[in-house]
Structure 1
Amino acid sequence: MHVQIGFELMLESVAPTPTVAITQPRSTEGQRILGPCLSITPEMPLHTYNDSFGNIVWRWTAPQGMQRIHYDAIAEVASLADPVLPDLPGTPVDQLPDAVLLYTLPSRYCPSDMVLNDAWQLFGGVPDGWPRVQAICDWAYRSVAYVAGSSTGTTSGYDVYLSRRGVCRDFAHLGVMFCRALSIPARYVCGYLPDINVPVNPEPMDFHAWFEAYLGGAWRTFDARHNQPRIGRVVIAHGRDAVDTAILTSYGASILTGMTVWAHERPDLTLLGEQKAQR
Structure 2
Amino acid sequence: MRVHIGCSLDYEFVQPTPLLAILNVHYSRFSDLERADYLVTSPSVPLESYRDAFGNWCTRMLAPAGRFLLSTDGVFRDTGALDPVAPHARQHDVQDLPFETLVYLLGSRYCDTDLLSEDAWKRFETTEPGWARVQAICDFVNANVRFDYMKADATRTASQTLLAGHGVCRDFTHLAITFCRCMNIPARYCTGYLSDIGEPEPHPPGDFAAWMEVFLDNQWWVFDPRNNARRKARILVARGRDAADVPLTQTFGPNKMTGFRVWTREAQGGAPL
TM range (shorter): over 0.9
Counting only pairs closer than 5 Å after superposition, residues 76-225 of structure 1 correspond to structure 2 as 76-225=77-226
Matching residue of 2:62? 61
For residues 176 and 214 of structure 1, the distance between their equivalents in structure 2, rounded to whole angstroms, comes to 11
Flag the 1:225–1:158 CA change in 2: closer, same or farther, 3 A: same
| C-alpha distance in 2 between matches for 1:206 and 1:16 | 27
Paired letter, 1:6? G
Query: In the alignment, which residue of structure 1 is the partner of 2:263?
Result: 262
What is the rounded CA distance, in whole Å, between the counterparts of 1:48 and 1:128 in structure 2?
41
TM-score normalised to structure 1 length: 0.93
- Asked if the contact 1:30–1:77 (Cα under 8 Å) also holds between the matched residues in 2, the reply is no
2:24·2:57 contact (CA, 8 Å) conserved in 1?
Answer: yes
Question: Cα 1:92–1:201, aligned 2, differ >3 Å: closer, same or farther?
Answer: farther
Q: What CA distance in whole angstroms lies between the structure 2 residues aligned with 1:67 and 1:131?
A: 47
Q: Distance in 1 between matches of 2:97 and 2:269?
A: 43
- Aligned to 2:76, the other structure's residue is in SS state strand
Partner of 1:71: 72
What one-letter code is carried by the residue in structure 1 that aligns with 2:63?
A
Distance in 2, Cα, partners of 1:115 & 1:174: 9
Match of 2:20 in 1: 20
Question: Do the aligned partners of 2:54 and 2:240 also contact (CA within 8 Å) in 1?
Answer: yes
1:7 counterpart letter in structure 2: C
CA distance in 2 between counterparts of 1:54 and 1:198 reads: 31
Mapped to 2, the partners of 1:72 and 1:29 lie a distance apart of: 15
**Any stretches of 5+ residues in structure 1 without a counterpart?**
272-279
Q: Is the 8 A contact 1:31 1:234 kept in 2?
A: no
Give 1:196 deviation, angstroms.
Answer: 1.4
Structure 2: runs of 5 or more not aligned: none
Displacement of 1:33: 2.6
Alignment match, 1:2: 2
The alignment covers a number of residue pairs equal to 270
Q: SS in structure 2 opposite 1:127? A: coil
Classify the secondary structure of the residue corresponding to 2:18. Answer: strand
Contact kept in structure 2, 1:8 and 1:260, CA below 8 Å: yes
The 8 Å contact of residues 213 and 221 in structure 2, kept in 1 or not, is answered as: yes
Superposition deviation, residue 126 in structure 1: 0.6
Letter in 2 for 1:232: A
Q: Is the 8 A contact 2:48 2:61 kept in 1?
A: yes
Shift of 1:227: 0.4
- The SS at the match of 1:138 is helix
User: Partner amino acid for 1:245?
Assistant: V
TM-score, with structure 2 as normaliser = 0.95
Matches within 5 A, 1:37-52: 37-52=38-53
More deviation, 194-203/225-234:
194-203
Tell me by how many angstroms 1:29 deviates. Answer: 6.0
Letter in 2 for 1:107: S
Q: Aligned equivalents of 1:40 and 1:244: distance in 2?
A: 23
> Structure 2: which amino acid aligns with 1:146?
F
CA distance in 2 between partners of 1:213 and 1:258 (Å): 34
The answer to whether the 8 Å contact 2:21/2:249 transfers is yes
% same residue: 39
Secondary structure of 2:136's partner?
Answer: helix
**What letter corresponds to residue 174 of structure 2 in structure 1?**
H
CA distance in 2, matches of 1:71, 1:29: 16
Deviation at 1:267, TM superposition (A): 4.0
Seen in structure 2, the aligned counterparts of structure 1 residues 172 and 56 have a Cα distance that, compared at 3 Å, is same
Counterpart CA distance in 1 for 2:159 and 2:79 is: 34
